[in-house]
């Protein structure tokens, strides 16, 4: 089994979901007392959030790059950034790294294309929804078009993520907000909705909507398991 390297803490609420999903999947595959080989560097999210607020993406890349190098020193066989938003600096973080870096968008795109989801709604932080790093990758590599909510909806989704979900706060009223946005994305032609922030899965799952839900946290975690258990 290969060792998975996780850059976590963004937020730790969703990082623990990664840890649980990866270990449960490895145990399903191997049985017995098996669990995943994982090394993790969990950053201080306050430092990352400040960089995001300031638009200091280079500063954030330095923090995550240092974390990646710590994982290399801990002999990780692959690296994953456990957040959608910080894939903005994926190339900077992984530049020069001599082990595979598994992009969250590739796990998402592979699953979506296999299931004929070629037009998807996107929920996430305003950075993920408004910047093109994820939607461009999905379109370029997988032929998938992305629809984003309107400005008022984007503000509401972003606020709920940062003011509630990142602190482990789950409110039914906020779930209702998300479900109204999902319904609107469906009316615009989305055949599924991307939970494009690793915290959203704490609030929304497939039981809450008829529209197919693509949870990037779960898909990314499974791609890491597949890598770790792949035979040479």
Q: List active site positions.
A: 83, 197
The answer to whether 137 and 90 are in contact (CB under 8 A) is no
The DSSP code sequence of the chain is -PPEEEEE-TTHHHHHHHHHHHHHHHHHHH-TT----EEEEE--HHHHHHHHHHT-HHHHHHHHHHHHHHHHHTT-SEEEES-SGGGGGHHHHHTT-SS-B--HHHHHHHHHHHTT--EEEEES-HHHHHSSHHHHHHHHHH--EEE---HHHHHHHHHHHHHTGGGT---HHHHHHHHHHHHHHHHTT-SEEEE-STTGGGT--GGG-SSPEEEHHHHHHHHHHHHHH---
Cβ atoms within 10 Å, residue 8: 23
- What is the distance of C-alpha 188 from the center of its chain? 24
């Amino acid at each position: 089994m290969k060792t998975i390297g996780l850059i976590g803490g963004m937020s730790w609420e969703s990082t623990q979901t990664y840890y649980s999903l990866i270990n449960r999947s490895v145990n399903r595959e191997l049985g017995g007392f098996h669990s995943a080989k994982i090394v993790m560097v969990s950053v201080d999210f306050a430092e990352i959030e400040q960089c995001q607020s300031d638009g200091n993406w280079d500063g954030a890349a330095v923090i995550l790059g240092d974390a990646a190098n710590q994982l290399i020193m801990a002999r990780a066989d692959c690296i994953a950034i456990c957040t959608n938003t910080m894939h903005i600096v994926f190339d900077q973080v992984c530049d020069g790294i001599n082990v595979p870096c598994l992009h969250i968008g590739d796990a998402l795109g592979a699953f979506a294309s296999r299931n004929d989801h070629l037009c998807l709604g996107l929920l996430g932080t305003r950075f993920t929804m408004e910047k093109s790093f994820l939607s461009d990758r999905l379109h370029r590599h997988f032929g998938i078009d992305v629809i984003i909510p309107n400005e008022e909806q984007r503000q509401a989704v972003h606020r709920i993520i940062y003011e509630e979900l990142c602190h482990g706060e789950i409110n039914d009223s906020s779930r209702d907000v998300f479900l109204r946005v999902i319904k609107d994305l469906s009316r615009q032609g989305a055949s599924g909705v991307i939970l494009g922030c690793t915290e959203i899965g704490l609030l929304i799952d497939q039981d809450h909507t008829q529209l197919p839900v693509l949870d990037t946290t779960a898909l990314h975690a499974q791609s890491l398991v597949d890598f770790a258990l792949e035979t040479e």
